[in-house]
Structure 1
């Protein structure tokens, strides 16, 4: 089955500054609610699993990851444009579709968790990113993997944190429930 991507989604990663800037800008916008939420009573009443980094780390880590994944999309579109095989082009198109889908989920996660005070399942986002990395790996000679592996690792770690928050705050009898009362 052939994957169709609208032309605009193919054009964005062709320009390196746009490819890097788009996820960075979206990440900054989606992170805006986070600044206030981490100071709020709901967030600070949650129990967290061991190994949670300080809040000051997140803006730096995410900025680097957003730029890195954006550059990987640029490398993927270059491979797409130079691929001679329709199967390789289709795999890269599928990977780019997953790129945009996981980026959308990534941006939505902040709002779901911090604004709606709901623990969300980041397993889907992590799985999509791992599969996207696999699809990009061969056609780019592994170059995208260098840029996406840290992102996949961080998402796996974030999934651990999310699962830990859910687990530690799941009991309705505790004052640390995930829903606002």
Structure 2
């Protein structure tokens, strides 16, 4: 069927819907669990002094949902590529590691209010995302491109996190 075929990067790919949905669900679940764990910290967050350009609170869940979906699609493209399995495995280990760092940042920042430590952790996360993008780019350029908005958002989050660390 036509709706089961997608054109990406010069190739026609048959969509494996179950795998695609699992790949999207994993980062969404990680983000959902992190949000659930930190939900009681949001009132304290609202009371913090924030740097200029801080968006309203509703922007964060919207942005993260979009980013998690893009990350899931990127991981799907890596898993379904024709690259050597060793290269795919390395890329996916990096992907899982950065997702783990992403999850823990929420805990450090919101639950423990360790703002400076969370910023340092975010720098490590940023580096892991960059390395993941580079690894993905050797397998699938579209997958790497789908991770770029995530890197940009984490860059912005670093600005906000450092600002909060310095102002509070």
Bin the TM-score by the shorter chain: 0.7 to 0.9
Q: Distance in 2 between matches of 1:156 and 1:94?
A: 24
TM-score, normalising length: structure 1:
0.75
Q: Deviations over 1:124-153 (max 9, x none)?
A: 11110011001111321x111231111111
Aligned to 1:151: 150
Q: Distance in 1 between matches of 2:64 and 2:125?
A: 15
Query: Pairwise mapping of residues 2-81 of structure 1 onto structure 2 (< 5 A)?
Result: 15-40=19-44, 43-79=45-81
- Once superposed, what is the RMSD of the aligned Cα atoms? 1.7
Say which SS state the counterpart of residue 55 (structure 2) adopts. coil
TM-score, normalising length: structure 2:
0.80
- Bigger proportion of residues as strand: 2
Q: Distance in 2 between matches of 1:168 and 1:26?
A: 29
Aligned to 2:12: none
- Bigger proportion of residues as helix: 2
Q: Distance in 2 between matches of 1:111 and 1:158?
A: 15
Q: Distance in 2 between matches of 1:168 and 1:93?
A: 42
Q: Do structure 1's residue 106 and structure 2's residue 102 form an aligned pair?
A: yes
Structure 1 segments unaligned to the other structure (5+ residues): 1-13, 170-181
Q: Is the 8 A contact 1:33 1:114 kept in 2?
A: no
Aligned to 1:166: 165
Structure 2 segments unaligned to the other structure (5+ residues): 1-17
> How far did 1:162 drift?
1.0
